[in-house]
Structure 1
Amino acid sequence: MSLHPSVAAVRLGVRRTLAELVVEGAPAPGAAVLVACSGGADSLALLAATVFEARKQGLRVVGATVDHGLQEGSAAHAAHVVEQMAALGADETASARVQVSSEGGRGPEAAAREARYAVLEQMAQHFGAVAVLLGHTLDDQAETVLLGLARGSGGRSLAGMRRSFDRVRRPLLDVTRTDTVTACQVEGIAYWDDPHNDDPGFARVRVRRSVLPVLEEQLGPGVTAALARTADQLRADSDLLDDLADAAYDGLRGSGAGGSDDGFEVAALVALPTATRTRVLRRAALEAGAPAAELFHVHVTALDRLVLGSSGRGEVQLPGHVSALRADGRLRLRRGAVSG
């Protein structure tokens, strides 16, 4: 009996990711791969495929679920997911409950994501995992790009979700949500439909249920795939610009034109191309203590105007109680007040 195309598509995504791990540095026999699992179709299909593919590589699969405590009965659901992960063949299972805080003006989605990533990293360290696999699909990527476009969030947002960073890998970014659902159905895996996925109070849900279907209807099929493809193309450009900006940042510090104590020489910043300069300024703000989740385009733009301004002096307040002061031909960033 031939393998169903949807199951094959999910397994192929996982196989490619595990092959990349080998290229990066062959994991030791018995090394762990941690799979984040919510109990939804995407993550359960990912877990099942990882169990199948990891055995060929001699890797151990750890299934991990995170209880955000945001819905009634979430603890019982997490316990059920643990049972499912074990039944699907995970070598070990783990669950954790996190406290989701909306301090700093973050929305519930952003706060939950931050808490989830933090605890997954802790789990990965505990199990010595060489990778953390997430179940985001091509559809998720398209939604992310469309939301970034609507919000005017710039190239970094339009580049969508990264395929990999640190230990994190997203094997299913070329796999559709239809395929993950079908794969579960074919393999007899009962999956959970998160009520939040149907709540129009979330912008992502409105994009998924209303906006994308209209675009597909009016512009023709393939819009979702085209948006995801756009993310890949922009990601390569964005990564290159980030590398150039990192080199410029390090060069400014190393040449005496910049530094953690004496700031940055304004003339050296002005000489940089705009795309490089704004990235350097963003990194400088992050290094000074501005939280990444709260540092927006408007803040970086304000910094850039401060650098390019003709007055030669000025101050900008940034998130995280970070101040930026331009004086005496230098830009200095500090947490708290900056003395001129």
Structure 2
Amino acid sequence: MGSPDALSAVRRAVREFLARHENLLAGGELFVAVSGGADSLALTDAAAQAAHRAGLRLTALVVDHRLQDGSAEVAATAAITARKLGADEARVLTVTVSGRGGIEAAARAARYAALRRALPEDGGLVLLGHTRDDQAETVLLGLGRGSGPRSVAGMRPLDPPWGRPLLALPRSATAGACAELGVEPWTDPHNADPRYTRVRLRHEVLPLLEDVLNGGVAAALARTAAQLREDGDTLDALSAELLERARDGATLDVTVLAQAPAALRRRALRTWLLGAGVRELTDAHLRSVDALVGEWRGQGGVWLPGNFEARRSRGKLCVEA
């Protein structure tokens, strides 16, 4: 049997999350992504409780990635279970997984794209069942890849249209909630396949860290992510002010940028380049563009992904396709 405390904790987390962000629910409809696993089923129950109390309609969205034999049956079962747990409607979204970055990244991209397409034109809020353990894994992945503070800061509780009300709860809470509800979650075979990096983090790296550091590692990593997000939000606000001061039409004034710390400059440059249509920026790209300001020696332009070039001319930075 599960713990009533676990079920109560999950329901309370969702209820409080929706109360904090009720401005996003003006359309009267709430969505929840359902895989059939413990996290998404516990979330669906809690979302149904909170939605109906608030007079909202709850729609469950089940993505069938078609990566395994029998995936259609798994998706159909998840949809049926979601309705039993209180969803007013359950839709199965079938996707084709392809693209760069390996099967994990491609499946994630296909899943998020399908969920976005399912939303009404005026937007909506989709609840995702990510837990504190998922956050810890995300932080470790960011650390291992050297992706910078944005990656190590992990997932945001609210990143419209995505809402993650369970980020403060351990995975054991959702398992306990499902046991208390008497529902049998689906166990994805991919979640036990050591070919996937996140699986090895979950079953090998995190347990080893918990043992070596005497426990509490997942919670500590989640706290670190929260602290980095707070710091990052402050830096983003300061860099936005810097960018506004430096703007001169489509170009940037090098004199204004040069007076700011490099960390703020690079954040401002990142926003500027993304706004110009440059994608897949790396830290190396940003540092090369920043060198046109902080380490200017008359060097040529910097090539950027998508056939863009950033260059300095007459005290101005410009970026052109």
TM-score by shorter chain over 0.5: yes
User: What is the CA-CA distance between 1:111 and the residue it aligns to?
Assistant: 2.6
Distance 2:72 2:193 in 1: 21
Contact 2:132 2:170 in 1 (8 A): yes
Moved segments of 4+, more than 6 Å: none
Pairing 1:15-164 to 2, within 5 Å after superposition: 15-22=15-22, 24=23, 27=26, 31-103=28-100, 106-125=101-120, 130-164=124-158
* Amino acid across the alignment from 2:298: G
Distance 1:89 1:225 in 2: 31
Which residue of structure 1 aligns with residue 10 of structure 2?
A: 10
Matched, 1:169 2:163: yes
Distance 2:111 2:278 in 1: 21
Q: RMSD in angstroms over aligned alpha carbons?
A: 1.9
* Amino acid across the alignment from 2:98: S
List runs of 5+ in structure 2 lacking aligned partners.
Answer: none
Which residue of structure 1 aligns with residue 227 of structure 2?
A: 233
Which residue of structure 2 aligns with residue 290 of structure 1?
A: 278
Distance 2:35 2:131 in 1: 14
Give the match's secondary structure for 1:313.
coil
Distance 2:314 2:159 in 1: 39
Give the match's secondary structure for 2:47.
helix
Which residue of structure 2 aligns with residue 310 of structure 1?
A: 296
* Amino acid across the alignment from 2:26: P
Equivalent of residue 267 in structure 2, options 247, 269, 279: 279
User: What is the CA-CA distance between 1:229 and the residue it aligns to?
Assistant: 1.0
Contact 1:265 1:331 in 2 (8 A): yes
Which residue of structure 1 aligns with residue 285 of structure 2?
A: 299
Contact 1:42 1:135 in 2 (8 A): yes
* Amino acid across the alignment from 2:104: E
TM-score by length of 1: 0.88
Matched, 1:195 2:189: yes
* Amino acid across the alignment from 2:185: Y
TM-score by length of 2: 0.93
Distance 1:82 1:198 in 2: 23
Contact 2:3 2:180 in 1 (8 A): no
Distance 2:185 2:262 in 1: 48
Distance 1:332 1:129 in 2: 34
- The percent identity for this pair of structures is 47
Distance 1:250 1:78 in 2: 48
Distance 1:266 1:274 in 2: 13
Q: From the superposition, tell whether residues 233 and 217 of structure 1 become closer, same or farther in structure 2 (CA, over 3 Å).
A: same
User: What is the CA-CA distance between 1:26 and the residue it aligns to?
Assistant: 6.7
* Amino acid across the alignment from 1:115: A
Which residue of structure 2 aligns with residue 338 of structure 1?
A: none
Give the match's secondary structure for 1:125.
coil
Distance 1:242 1:215 in 2: 32
Which residue of structure 1 aligns with residue 255 of structure 2?
A: 267
Q: Deviations over 1:109-162 (max 9, x none)?
A: 233222222221221226x66421010000000111112122222111111101
Count how many residue pairs are aligned between Structure 1 and Structure 2: 320
